[in-house]
Amino acid sequence: MMFSSTRQVSFNPLLLSTTLVLTASLSCALVGSQANASQTLHTTQTVQPSEAKAAIRHEEGRQIYAEQMEGKLLAKDGQSLPDGVAPKTLLDWLAPGRSPDLLASIGAKPWGNQGLYLGYACVVAEELDLKYTDGSDLCSENFAERQTHDFYFGVFKLDQGNFQALATHDGPLNTPVNWNDSNLESTVDGGSDTVPQSVKKLDLAPYKVSDQLTAIGIRVGFSEGFSGGGAFYEALQLYVIDGDKLVNIFSEPMYFYKDLAGERDETGVRARVIDEGKNLLQLLGRQHQGYYDLRLKNVDNGSKVDFRWSRDAGRYLPKNGG
């Protein structure tokens, strides 16, 4: 079942005045276990970006709106290297054989307080692809029909300023995402495993999945275009160090945002339908096979899905399925 919070923002693109006449109505309905909130804002004049953005409930959506509608490229953390680490040193370790001439971005972010860093390199397929790298993400696909950007990542240590390799992901990031257990609206093909189109950011919150292991978080993204609008999705992937490798143990959707053209009313004003939903990840106090249970909680309607460690699968699975 899919859950969301839907709003409509109506505007007339032919008028340029900034004066707003606003009426709002709020209705809530509960159908089975799905809660939907609908708010319609009627205006006789153009909605300024600040008013349109105000209809978006979550910060993720406001950032998407700022980038897609206002042309603002928000500052991204992790896009620099610590002293003593040369770009070529990191690239040769993360992506042996890849040319520095094809680097779209490279950087590192401190992880914990033991002198550890999560480093990454975004490499394109050919030099022509570099002109499509706009800097809006750490590593952006920009093409729906072919793979052009590869995201490599690994954990290294600086020991008195000296680079020390610890663990890398085996090849570029290619862990798929599936929406079946997310309680969120899915992509068009969300019922199948979908490889991310972009890497949004490094999420190095302390995801302590066991008493011995802290996972690394990476936020990945997807986008779709429709007639009159588009949709954007974000997922969280967790990785742990296993020997000299980083292995994925969790990959689930966390947020979606849709902005679609609605119906015209009797005055010719067309509605904008803004639909969004968000999950939070909670680490629970109970353990199974040495790993803490995880919970995805939908902040809009309170629905939740618990995940439990599966030794056989080597990763987290939905509790009712693992």
The pLDDT of residue 110? 94
Cα end-to-end distance, the chain, whole Å: 19
The pLDDT of residue 133? 67
Residue 145: pLDDT over 60: no
What is the token pair recorded at 144?
A: 């729906």
The pLDDT of residue 271? 72
Q: Which segment of 28-32, 76-80, 272-276, 287-291 scores lowest on mean pLDDT?
A: 28-32
What is the spatial distance between Cα 123 and Cα 138, in angstroms, rounded to a whole number? 11
Q: Which segment of 51-60, 81-90, 264-273 scores lowest on mean pLDDT?
A: 264-273
CA distances from 93 to 42, 98, 126, 290, 294 (A): 56, 10, 20, 32, 33
What is the spatial distance between Cα 44 and Cα 255, in angstroms, rounded to a whole number? 31
- pLDDT confidence of 297, banded at 50, 70, 90? very high
Reported pTM: 0.81
**Other Cβ atoms closer than 10 A to 39:** 17
Q: Which of 91-100, 135-144, 157-166 has the highest mean pLDDT?
A: 91-100
**Cβ contacts of residue 16 below 8 Å, gap of 6+?**
46
Residue 25: pLDDT over 90: no
38 sits in which H/E element = strand 34-42
Q: Burial level of 276, CB count in 10 A (0-12/13-18/19+)?
A: buried
Chain centroid offset of residue 264 CA: 32
What is the token pair recorded at 211?
A: 């008493």
Query: Average model confidence (pLDDT) for the chain?
Result: 79
CB 257 within 8 A of CB 232: yes
Residue 81: pLDDT over 60: yes
Contacts 24+ apart (CB under 8 A), 283-288: 283/207, 283/208, 283/209, 287/210
pLDDT tens per residue across span 181-231: 888 888 766 557 888 989 999 999 999 999 999 999 999 998 888 777 788
87 sits in which H/E element = helix 87-94
Does residue 305 sit in helix, strand or coil? strand
What is the spatial distance between Cα 52 and Cα 68, in angstroms, rounded to a whole number? 13
Residue 168: pLDDT over 70: yes
Q: Which segment of 137-146, 205-214, 238-247, 253-262 scores lowest on mean pLDDT?
A: 137-146
